[in-house]
Amino acid sequence: MTHASRIAIAPLRGSVSDAEWRARLDLAACYRLCEQFGMSDMIYTHISARLPESPNHFLINPNGLLFGEITASSLLKVTLDGEVLYRPDLPYGLHPAGFTIHSALYRARPDAMAAMHTHTIAGMAVSALKCGLLPLTQTATRFYGRIAYHGFRGPERDPSERDSLARSVGEMNYCILRNHGLLTLGASVAEAFVAMWGLERACQAQLQAMACNTPLEIPNAEVVEKSCAMYAPGKSRTYGSLEWEGLLRRIDAVDPSWRE
Ligand SMILES: [Zn+2]
């Protein structure tokens, strides 16, 4: 399924720094992966990457391209104050809620280099459960005690929402936006994506287990803590480092136009 041939924009390769081009490639790949793994919501969510050479600038999608259409050259470059430094020749601009969420995160978290936000059915459903994400599965224990929750106050278009979101997220890398969806941060696009993959599956498994109308087996606290500790930052490799090349091969096999 090729979408990208339908958009014609100037290629940026060679006219931006190598570091920016690499960030563009990783982020465009992440949009394609989000689409291929069924985690997109047409044009209504956003994934971003901070530029390593200019930490006050980040890349994000132009509001109007489907995730399966996004290419490295089509991503907007914006400042943390909302100034659009680069926009491809398309009639699409910066999404207000996307800017609010991602600029809030990068302002508050100098360690965050990428942020991914989804509105999947499973993510929205768990975001609406008072109990939130339970440590029902090995996958879910990775997130035990590491998820922030942010209360729903309507679409994030008010600049004051930035402070509120930053306070809710704190030092966490994972956040459930109540009645809304999921959010992951990472030191790389790959890390944010692989975290979202796990969080999404943990949500799906919980919902299916809860739908069975039979008592749930929740591992005891000691086991949950032990399992969670194995996923602690620094304990094992960085998530995404081993998976990313394979994921890129997967999207290349379907449609390599994200590299344009
Ligand atoms: Zn959203």
Cα 201 to the center of its chain, rounded Å = 14
The reported pLDDT for the residue numbered 7 is 80
* 2 located within any domain: no
Alpha carbon of 218 to ligand 1 centroid (Å): 30
Alpha carbon of 56 to ligand 1 centroid (Å): 22
Alpha carbon of 86 to ligand 1 centroid (Å): 23
Alpha carbon of 44 to ligand 1 centroid (Å): 7
The reported pLDDT for the residue numbered 144 is 95
Alpha carbon of 101 to ligand 1 centroid (Å): 9
Alpha carbon of 107 to ligand 1 centroid (Å): 19
The reported pLDDT for the residue numbered 153 is 84
Q: What is the largest CA-CA distance in the chain?
A: 59
The reported pLDDT for the residue numbered 235 is 59
* 78 located within any domain: yes
Alpha carbon of 133 to ligand 1 centroid (Å): 18
Helical spans, DSSP H, in 172-256: 189-210, 221-230, 244-254
* 218 located within any domain: yes
| Dist. CA 260–CA 246, nearest whole Å | 19
The reported pLDDT for the residue numbered 4 is 42
| Dist. CA 102–CA 114, nearest whole Å | 9
In DSSP notation, 113-132 reads -EEEEE--HHHHHHHT-TT-
* 94 located within any domain: yes
Residue 125: give its domain's CATH number. Answer: 3.40.225.10
> How many C-beta atoms lie closer than 10 Å to residue 195's C-beta?
24
174 neighbors 199 (Cβ within 8 angstroms): yes
| Dist. CA 2–CA 36, nearest whole Å | 12
* 212 located within any domain: yes
The reported pLDDT for the residue numbered 3 is 45
35 neighbors 113 (Cβ within 8 angstroms): no
77 neighbors 57 (Cβ within 8 angstroms): yes
Alpha carbon of 181 to ligand 1 centroid (Å): 6
Alpha carbon of 227 to ligand 1 centroid (Å): 30
* 93 located within any domain: yes
The angle formed by the CA atoms of residues 114, 246 and 134, to the nearest 5 degrees, is 60
Alpha carbon of 32 to ligand 1 centroid (Å): 18
- Overall domain count for the chain: 1
* 178 located within any domain: yes
Tens-binned pLDDT, residue by residue, of the chain (260 aa): 444 456 888 999 999 999 999 999 999 999 999 999 999 999 999 999 999 999 999 999 999 999 999 999 999 999 999 999 999 999 999 999 899 999 999 999 999 999 999 999 999 999 999 999 999 999 999 999 999 999 998 876 777 889 999 999 999 999 999 999 999 999 999 999 999 999 999 999 999 999 999 999 999 999 999 988 888 766 556 788 889 999 999 999 999 999 99
* 165 located within any domain: yes
The angle formed by the CA atoms of residues 169, 111 and 184, to the nearest 5 degrees, is 45
The reported pLDDT for the residue numbered 66 is 96
Domain residues for the domain of 24 are 11-259
